[in-house]
Amino acid sequence: MKEVVIVSAVRTPMGSFGGVLSSVPATKLGGFAIKGAIEKCGLNQDQIDEVFMGNVLQANLGQAPARQAAIEAGLSENTPCTTINKVCSSGMKSIMIGAQTIISGDNEIVNVEVPQRKGDNLIINEDEEYKKVILEKIPNLRPVFAKDGTITAANASTINDGASALVLMSLEKANELNLKPLAKIISYADAAHEPEWFTTAPSNAIENALKKGKISKNDVDYFELNEAFSVVGLANIKLLDIDNHKVNVNGGAVALGHPLGSSGSRIVVTLINVLKQNNGSIGVAGICNGGGGASAIIIKNM
């Protein structure tokens, strides 16, 4: 097996439901992310061998959303593309598949241009969701699933627009192209158990990935756990017996947003930057998906 490295990792800003990105189709957002990732590492569009991209809510997007996103990014029409739908794990699964097939070819955000009816395009370069919180309302919010429940709108992720993309290649190819890798993929794994316990599935996937990578959890510097709900992070911190100060240090999906098809790769993009910002070495990302499944990936800062 060749060593697989990540040479570029970016995401678009995340917009609120009906917010600043609501007029931009998902395929165009994907195009911004792909183009940004390629430009950031200095590759040409024709150097990309294949594209894997997650997309979940595909109604009204037309055929082959990943293919549309690739063409939006200016890739060659001869580039094979595959759309992945594994609910919230879709983006991470795209990375895993890419690691098997080798895709050639703050700091994580690329701008999105939103056309206006009059005047210049609106440039979106910041996340929208966290700015909309009204802290005074949080203590009085009602539970959303049961009268005596604990989940409210304040500790659940929101519905958001956003895209993310990473460029993967073999370490051998990176050296040949004189590209400095951001991180190396150590291992990855999936897991699944009873659907009603989907919130705890990431701990199983993470343990599987740690075992495959022969990595101790004590050697992990930072974790990114996608927060479908705040309880997902809290439960898996407890199950894995890890330091909560190592988890989601720049904020999670409850604060930033959860674009379903993007979140699996978004948390990897964020994890890379967290490792860079804090001089960390080993990072782990885990995400649950609908039906009791979960995915996890381990990377090493380079």
Task: Report in angstroms the alpha-carbon separations of 234 from 93, 155, 181, 185.
Answer: 23, 11, 32, 26
Confidence of residue 104 (pLDDT cuts 50, 70, 90): very low
The yes-or-no verdict on residue 102 having pLDDT over 60 is: no
CATH number for region 186-301: 3.40.47.10
CA proximity to 264, closest of 159, 121, 151, 166? 166
Confirm whether 4-115+157-176 and 186-301 share one CATH topology: yes
Q: Which CATH architecture does the domain made up of 4-115+157-176 adopt?
A: 3-Layer(aba) Sandwich (3.40)
The yes-or-no verdict on residue 275 having pLDDT over 80 is: yes
Instruction: Return the sign of the alpha-carbon dihedral for residues 158, 164, 169, 175.
Output: negative
Residue with tokens 């203590």: 139
The mean predicted confidence, pLDDT, of the chain is 95
C-alpha–C-alpha distance, residues 47 and 64, integer Å: 21
Percent of the chain with pLDDT over 70: 98
Dihedral (Cα; 170, 176, 182, 184), 10-degree rounding: 30
Write a three-state SS string for the chain. CCCEEEEEEEECCCECCCCCCCCCCHHHHHHHHHHHHHHHHCCCHHHCCCEEEECCCCCCCCCCHHHHHHHHCCCCCCCCEEEECECECHHHHHHHHHHHHCCCCCCCECCEEECCCCCCCEEECCCCHHHHCCHHHHHHCCCCCCCCCCCCCCCECCECECCEEEEEEEHHHHHHCCCCCCEEEEEEEEEECCHHHHHHHHHHHHHHHHHHHCCCHHHCCEEEECCCEHHHHHHHHHHHCCCHHHECCCCCHHHHCECCCCHHHHHHHHHHHHHHHCCCCEEEEEEEECCCEEEEEEEEEC
The yes-or-no verdict on residue 98 having pLDDT over 80 is: yes
The yes-or-no verdict on residue 126 having pLDDT over 70 is: yes
302 alpha-carbon distance from chain centroid: 19
183 alpha-carbon distance from chain centroid: 15
Backbone angles phi, psi at 274, to 5 degrees: -65, -45
Backbone angles phi, psi at 3, to 5 degrees: -75, 130
CA proximity to 171, closest of 160, 179, 162? 179
Q: Domains of the chain: which residue ranges?
A: 4-115+157-176, 186-301
Would you state the pLDDT for residue 1? 67
CA proximity to 251, closest of 276, 280, 232, 227? 227
What angle separates helix 263-277 from helix 90-101, to the nearest 10 degrees? 80
Would you state the pLDDT for residue 290? 84
Task: Give the pair of three-digit tokens for residue 37.
Answer: 């990732």
Average pLDDT in the 206-230 region?
Answer: 98
Is beta strand 183-192 parallel, antiparallel or unpaired with respect to 122-124? unpaired
Q: What is the pLDDT of residues 105-115, one digit of tens each?
A: 388 999 999 99
Q: What is the pLDDT of residues 169-209, one digit of tens each?
A: 999 999 999 999 999 999 999 999 999 999 999 999 999 99
Q: What is the pLDDT of residues 32-90, one digit of tens each?
A: 999 999 999 999 999 999 999 999 999 999 999 999 999 999 999 999 999 999 999 99
CA proximity to 91, closest of 282, 241, 203, 253? 253
Would you state the pLDDT for residue 105? 39
Is beta strand 282-289 parallel, antiparallel or unpaired with respect to 222-225? parallel
Average pLDDT in the 248-252 region?
Answer: 96
- Indicate which residues carry an active-site annotation: 88, 258, 288
C-alpha–C-alpha distance, residues 236 and 191, integer Å: 14
The yes-or-no verdict on residue 252 having pLDDT over 70 is: yes
